[in-house]
Amino acid sequence: MSANTTANATDERTRLEALWERDAVKIFVAFAAIYLVYAAIGLALGYSLDGIVNTLRRMTYLIAVYGMVTLALNLHWGYTGLFNIGVAGFMAIGLYVTMMLAKPVDPTGAAQYPGLGLPMPIAIAGGVVAAGLAGLVVAIPALRLRADYFAITTIAFAEIVRLGLTSGMAQQFSVFGAELGTGGGRGLTRNYGDPMNVIFELEAFSSFVDLTNALFGFGPTQARALAYSIVLVLVLIGFYWLIQRTSRSPFGRVLKAIREDEEAAQSLGKNTNRFKIKVFVLGCALMGLAGILWRFRRTGVTPTAFRPHVTFYIWIALIIGGAGSNTGSVLGSGLFVAVLFEGPRYVRRLIEEVVTVGDAPNTFAGAVGPLLSANPAPFLRYTFEEFLTLQFVLMGVALVLLMHRRPDGLLGHREETAAAIPLADRPVAETGAGPRPGGTDSDRGGDSQ
């Protein structure tokens, strides 16, 4: 009897392990944990129901946006091996072009600079195309370069974009007689209608507002924000679907071949340069779209929003999840936002809730001095005061540790089959147990199965 139960138990365990092996399950568990923890934090901080839901909504919004950009970056680095560290530049181009196209022709009130007054869908399309074109401009000459030179070129490009947007020269200019402007360092204010109005003005939306009011006590503004986040999640799913399809297509197989060994791909008659240009442009256009969706509802934008920090965040998310894995990119964005981006702030609030911290010394010297006389309190207070600075230190250290311990990330095992037909589904008996005659080419961990 007991042997039977243990057998059953092990059976159950292997089943669970097999289930755990699936990326979707890991993502589900991770996200459920993230939301539960944040709901618990909300409770501990004494938030009301709408506060908690709003916290979770904000998380969702951030995860969706970072997820989109990370997926696009995964297309560059994970699938093709293009080391793009100019992500922020392409996002900036997308958003700025969209805003410049959408702003009304006659500037009113505080909004100093005119735009073209185009309808929103056209403006978004324009922004995406502009980001893609920028990618083309960078890609055509730069793809001949080594990975590290390519990286430096892309970050230099992103800085050129940011500094160009900051400079006074492009503050206001005219193209074919139409006045446009980037607003220079002061940036652009949004003086067009809410871009989500297409949805908000639907008949059905008012019942959504009523529903959220009944469920969480949301007002109309919060309901709109929630709907916006839901739309972003849908777009994220679209991104995932698109990139998953791309990577599984014959086109995607060539990309993986380029990543593993570009010369080998060339020797098989593939024009690798053309593939690289295409995929780079596609990824940049997607980054542009993510940049647009990230901030086009806000009251305004300044060039400081596109400092190299943004690129750094996306890279951490990608590396947490594992380059080359789309599910990993989504998981990585979730973990990055929950643990590294939002986490420290909530931890700080929690500490504040539990203990009264008191006045911190205002310099590091004032914090360290008492340590010599075995009084750690001022140092702890100072650390607490500077928590948000330390958050950035934490991000940097996290990246270093990831490179040390898990350079392939959580899901970046990169064992995708290159063959068009499924190989794994065949019964074991047919494939035989002996070594394959082809030799041990699978030990490179690439697409060689």
Partner 1 sequence: MSTVDEAVNRGRNLSSEQFLLLVVGIGAVALLGDLILGLASGTYSISRVARYVTEGILYGLIIGLAGIGLSMTYSILNFANFAHGDYVTTGAFFGWGVTYLVAGWGVASVGPLVLVAPQREVSGAQLDVAITATPIAVLAGLLVAGVATALFVLLIDRLAFKPVRGSGGIPLLITSVGVAFALRYVLVFVYSSSTRGTTASVPSVDFLLVDGYVSIGAHDATLIVAAVALMLGVHFLLQRTKLGKAMRAMSDNRDLALVTGIPTERVIRWTWMIGGGLAGTAGYLMVLWTGTIDWQFGWLLLLLIFAAVILGGIGSIYGAIFGGLVIGVGMHMSMIWLPGGDFTTITAFLLMILVLLIRPSGLFGGKTTA
Question: 120 to 149, contacts with partner 1 by CB under 8 A?
Answer: 141-142, 144-149
One residue of 69, 134, 155, 227 binding partner 1 per CB under 8 A: 155
Contact 442, 448 (CB under 8 A): yes
Output the smallest distance, CB 228 to partner 1, in A: 30
Size of the site for partner 1 (CB under 8 A): 49
Integer Cα distance of 432 and 158 in angstroms: 53
Contact 87, 158 (CB under 8 A): yes
Output the smallest distance, CB 167 to partner 1, in A: 4
Output the smallest distance, CB 152 to partner 1, in A: 5
One residue of 392, 406, 415, 444 binding partner 1 per CB under 8 A: 392
Lookup: tokens for 4: 């039977």
One residue of 166, 191, 329, 333 binding partner 1 per CB under 8 A: 166
Count other C-beta atoms under 10 Å from residue 251's C-beta. 14
For residue 281, which amino acid is it?
A: V
Half-sphere exposure (Cβ direction) of 245: Cα atoms closer than 13 Å: 6
Contact 87, 69 (CB under 8 A): yes
Output the smallest distance, CB 168 to partner 1, in A: 6
> Is residue 152 part of the contact set for partner 1 (CB under 8 A)?
yes
One residue of 403, 426, 442, 444 binding partner 1 per CB under 8 A: 403
Integer Cα distance of 135 and 119 in angstroms: 25
Q: Which residues have CB under 8 Å from 444's CB, separation 6+?
A: 260
Residue 301 φ then ψ, to 5° = -145, 140
One residue of 237, 350, 393, 419 binding partner 1 per CB under 8 A: 393
Pairing of strands 188-189, 300-301: antiparallel
Task: List the x/- string, 58-87, binding to partner 1 by CB under 8 A.
Answer: -------------------------x-x--
> Is residue 315 part of the contact set for partner 1 (CB under 8 A)?
yes
State the residues that interact with partner 1 by CB under 8 A: 83, 85, 141-142, 144-149, 151-153, 155-157, 159-160, 163-164, 166-169, 312, 315, 319, 362-366, 368-369, 386, 389-390, 392-393, 395-400, 402-404, 407
